[in-house]
Amino acid sequence: MKILVPIKRVVDHNVKVRVKSDGSGVDLDNVKMSINPFDEIAIEEAVRLKEAGTASEVVVVSVGSQGCQDIIRTALAVGADRGIHVLAEDGIEPLAIAKTLKAVVEQELPKLLLLGKQAIDDDSNQTGQMLAALLKWPQGTFASEVRVEDEQLTVTREVDAGLEVLTMPMPAVVTCDLRLNEPRYASLPNIMKAKRKPIDCIEIDSLGIDTTPRFKAVTYTVPEQRKGGVMVSSVDELIEKLKNEAKVL
């Protein structure tokens, strides 16, 4: 079974981004970029399924600028077999990304797609579901456990009420939640080995996908900042403030 893992290059999760003063965007100059954390979980799960003998090949794919090659290499270093880089401008919307990934899926014919549940930059939480719709495949979103048995997938999902278990036939799309696994770090020898693994590069224009944006960001603003609070020195003072000043008790 082949697993395809779409991954995204995003601002590192520890970076607190700043809105540009003219409101035209978010300042990404000289900011550390990394694999989207949820995508690391997807890669880890794919590699574990390969180690368990369930998967035969793990292919990672990333759509975006030249910098995506770095995160594909990182994925190869933790155990993916090969990479596909769809060279495109950054910031393509989820629907167009889903259409692009569909074209890759039709070439690669994987049995399972593992994605992160959302990217921490645009916080959309859409691509996996859209891709499943376009492929007419079943979807197991927000997965905290994935089991594969005889062409049948069992996914435990993190839902608002608790946990939900679904089964579905493959091929299927699964989006990974935080608690699915603990991603491993790449070892130095594996980082060296990853340099010899192949990365195919495809120009997005060759896929014939309409990537015209559906949305236009008019302006970006900084959320209202909270007023500086006060430090209290005792429980009594805290209760007094909550009762008389904030009037929430």
Partner 1 sequence: MDNIQRATLVIAEHDNQSVSVDTLRTVNAASQIQHEGTSLPVTVLLVGYQSGAVLEQIKCAHGVSNIIAIDAKEYQHALAENLAELIAEIGKNYSHILTPSTTFGKNLMPRVAALLDVGQLSDVIAIESLDTVVRPIYAGNALARVRSNDTIKVMTIRSSAFDAVAVSDAPIVEHVTMAEKIIAAAHSMFVSQQKVESERPELPAASVVVSGGRGLGSKENFALVEQLADKLGGAIGASRAAVDAGFVSNDLQVGQTGKIVAPQLYIAVGISGAIQHLAGMKDSKVIVAINNDPDAPIFQVADYGLVGDLFEIMPELLDKI
Q: How many Cα neighbours within 13 Å face the side chain of 70?
A: 10
Cβ atoms of 201 and 85 within 8 Å: the answer is: yes
Rule CB under 8 A: say whether 165 interacts with partner 1.
yes
Part in contact with partner 1 (CB under 8 A); list of ranges 50-58, 69-77, 161-169, 188-196: 161-169
Distance of CA 150 to the CA centre of its chain: 27
Q: Which of 115, 117, 186, 202: binder of partner 1 (CB under 8 A)?
A: 117
Rule CB under 8 A: say whether 94 interacts with partner 1.
yes
Cβ atoms of 42 and 7 within 8 Å: the answer is: yes
Q: How many Cα neighbours within 13 Å face the side chain of 133?
A: 10
Min dist CB 165 to partner 1, Å, is 4
Rule CB under 8 A: say whether 31 interacts with partner 1.
no
Rule CB under 8 A: say whether 30 interacts with partner 1.
no
Rule CB under 8 A: say whether 199 interacts with partner 1.
no
DSSP string over 123-163: ----HHHHHHHHHT--EEEEEEEEEEETTEEEEEEEETTEE
Q: Which of 54, 65, 69, 125: binder of partner 1 (CB under 8 A)?
A: 125
The smaller minimum CB distance to partner 1, of residues 81 and 93, is found at: 93
Min dist CB 162 to partner 1, Å, is 4
**How far is the C-alpha of 156 from the C-alpha of 140, rounded, in Å?**
8
The smaller minimum CB distance to partner 1, of residues 7 and 80, is found at: 7
Q: Which of 24, 51, 89, 169: binder of partner 1 (CB under 8 A)?
A: 169
Rule CB under 8 A: say whether 123 interacts with partner 1.
yes
The smaller minimum CB distance to partner 1, of residues 120 and 199, is found at: 120
- Considering only CA atoms, give the Rg of the chain: 21
Cβ atoms of 38 and 116 within 8 Å: the answer is: yes
Q: Count of CB atoms within 10 A of residue 79's CB?
A: 18
**Per CB under 8 A, which of residues 206..245 are in contact with partner 1?**
213-223, 226-227, 229-236, 238-239, 241-242
